[in-house]
Structure 1
């Protein structure tokens, strides 16, 4: 797969196959317009030689790559989106692999009309200081204490290169403090006078000195592990962050990711609060990241098993619909994000329906 970077120098990593499906942008085969201005580097590290293995980073990285390349998502060219996964019992990817991938994207972008770069890291990490996170490489250990990429230094490189107008820097890793740590700056540089005009939105999965968590979730009928932050990030991009105008703005995106991450942690009796920073904020918080052209809301089908008098109340406790139903009847509704209560009036039986704005169609039995 040409969008996956594999090790080609000693120590050689095993060939990377079978973890993610091949990235396909349906618009290419159809001859429809494709986004040629945006680029992404996506790093997902499950495997570490001296740390507990993780379960969520590679699946989350694959899902983000799929969304970015999908015609219904970022609509990127597949070769503009580089995926760098870890491999079991291997010291790669190391900093060389990651910096070479960035260099490849830089050279591609310089020959085009670049607009946006996505940088995503999921794996083990630590807080070096308030601004700098260490993004741990597979070889990290207590002896190789600094075998981690510096988020601050890599962000500086991306901003000062002035190649991209917009940079979106996402980190799904812990930020527990490690004293006297010195994460690695990039080997890449910016010869000449550094720039600094690029707008950068940075999302940390947690606050400084706090962990980031992963857990099991059901999706498409299967149970899989995801980072709470990455799960929230993907759901936001898939429509949960759409505002009343059908757009995903910087503000609605941040708000959605923060709310969902915190909710997923609370469901497991854990605490996790997303932190964000905006550098060179020449964009309004109402700047549109994606125009979805969709009306906010979820198509809901409620199927009734018995005859009854039913009432559906909305998030503001106002009645949306009240009627007599027969067994087998169905209500077809379009509901905005929020909590709803459906009641059988005679028996006073109540159930709650949660609409998060992500799923296009939801079916309930009552």
Structure 2
């Protein structure tokens, strides 16, 4: 089913090459590839984002790393703004995606931080060769004719007091009417003060060598490409967050790392839908396909509920582990009635045959 979104626009940036980062450079291996994969999803008119390729800018460090500068990023953003202004219908949603090195910049109060996105010529002697992610979301929200801003940031969030990330040079003299009603949401690859990682993943071709991808972007695209069984397909922003919150730590743990995503604000709406991938609601399999293990913190009794709040299984923690039959791409919730702990998750096909600790 076609999913054209002619009023959506996107700026996608991926940087592998950091020749001056450290004494011998500190290049990444999967950031450019991940930016390309996200661009491909955005411009997929069937089940992806449905963007017109002319409304989507892909900028990477491939070929000429030091040619990717803040000025080139700002010119691309300004070009998209020009296209949106020229459109009779204006814009609906603006996507901003970044994969590369990043840092947190300490504010003057030493309490607040801004997300810094490092450009290819960043170095310890050029610590200001970075852009302020928040300023790009702010200028889109304040000046441009969009109803939503969705930001996906796949980079580290370790602090640095030396960096001064520069705001976008794009701007306006007066905010648009109603700019305060624009829905802005951000998905971050890691917690504040923590690193984000990349690693080997099996290639689509079984005979090919493994490919390097960011853990965050891998989990993100799994959720976007899987979609849901909601009417019309696609996946809601809150459902996508629940998937990331569950899946990303699992991918990291399997590779000996710790990585937990973060978001802003703290609650999204499933009225905001990404893509149009649709999964038919299958019957539950005949055999168990998931195991739930209980930690020593559980009090009980515990309930596993489906999206309609119908109990799938109930019992005390010492009755575990539970082997259960779950339907892929459905939402479930675990509830510990003893201490009030609740956690919801989307059961993705990639989770079949695995386990979770609650």
Q: TM-score, normalized by length of structure 2? A: 0.72
CA deviation vs aligned residue, 1:6-64 (integer Å, no higher than 9, x gap): xxxxxxxxxxxxxxxxxxxxx9xxxx773211011100000112121101111111111
The 1:156–1:212 alpha-carbon spacing in structure 2 relative to 1, beyond 3 Å, is same
Of 156, 180, 188, the match for 1:174: 156
Aligned to 1:190: 172
Of 256, 260, 268, the match for 1:269: 256
Aligned to 1:45: 15
Number of residues of Structure 1 aligned to a counterpart in Structure 2? 288
CA RMSD of aligned residues (A): 3.1
Q: Distance in 1 between matches of 2:242 and 2:14?
A: 24
Aligned-pair distance for 1:293? Answer: 4.3
Question: Unaligned 5+ residue runs, structure 1?
Answer: 1-26, 301-310, 318-332, 339-354
Is the Cα contact below 8 Å between 2:199 and 2:213 reproduced in 1?
Answer: yes
Aligned-pair distance for 1:190? Answer: 1.4
Which stretch shifts more, 117-126 or 177-186? 177-186
Aligned to 1:159: 141
Aligned to 1:357: 349
1:255 aligns with 2:242: yes
The 1:187–1:297 alpha-carbon spacing in structure 2 relative to 1, beyond 3 Å, is farther
1:78 aligns with 2:56: no
Of 180, 188, 194, the match for 1:210: 194
Q: Distance in 1 between matches of 2:282 and 2:74?
A: 41
Aligned to 2:69: 94
Aligned-pair distance for 1:298? Answer: 10
Q: Which has more radius of gyration?
A: 1
Aligned to 2:28: 54
Runs of 4+ aligned structure 1 residues displaced above 4 Å come to: 243-247, 296-300
Instruction: Give SS of 1:132's match.
Output: strand
1:69 aligns with 2:43: yes
Greater relative contact order (CA < 8 Å, ≥ 6 in sequence) = 2
Instruction: Give SS of 2:117's match.
Output: strand
Q: Distance in 2 between matches of 1:298 and 1:100?
A: 51
Which stretch shifts more, 88-97 or 213-222? 88-97
The 1:335–1:182 alpha-carbon spacing in structure 2 relative to 1, beyond 3 Å, is same
Aligned to 2:295: none
Is the Cα contact below 8 Å between 1:212 and 1:272 reproduced in 2?
Answer: yes
Aligned-pair distance for 1:104? Answer: 0.7
Aligned-pair distance for 1:295? Answer: 2.0
Aligned-pair distance for 1:121? Answer: 0.5
Is the Cα contact below 8 Å between 1:243 and 1:252 reproduced in 2?
Answer: no
1:126 aligns with 2:103: yes
Aligned-pair distance for 1:158? Answer: 1.5
1:34 aligns with 2:34: no
CA deviation vs aligned residue, 1:174-207 (integer Å, no higher than 9, x gap): 0110014210101111122453331111011101
The 1:33–1:297 alpha-carbon spacing in structure 2 relative to 1, beyond 3 Å, is closer
Aligned-pair distance for 1:131? Answer: 4.1
CA deviation vs aligned residue, 1:228-269 (integer Å, no higher than 9, x gap): 0010111111015x2666551111011112211111111112
Aligned to 1:141: 123
Q: Distance in 2 between matches of 1:47 and 1:66?
A: 21
Q: Distance in 2 between matches of 1:177 and 1:297?
A: 46
Q: Distance in 2 between matches of 1:89 and 1:101?
A: 17
Aligned to 1:304: none
Aligned-pair distance for 1:313? Answer: 2.1
Aligned to 2:211: 224
The 1:146–1:35 alpha-carbon spacing in structure 2 relative to 1, beyond 3 Å, is same
Is the Cα contact below 8 Å between 1:298 and 1:334 reproduced in 2?
Answer: no
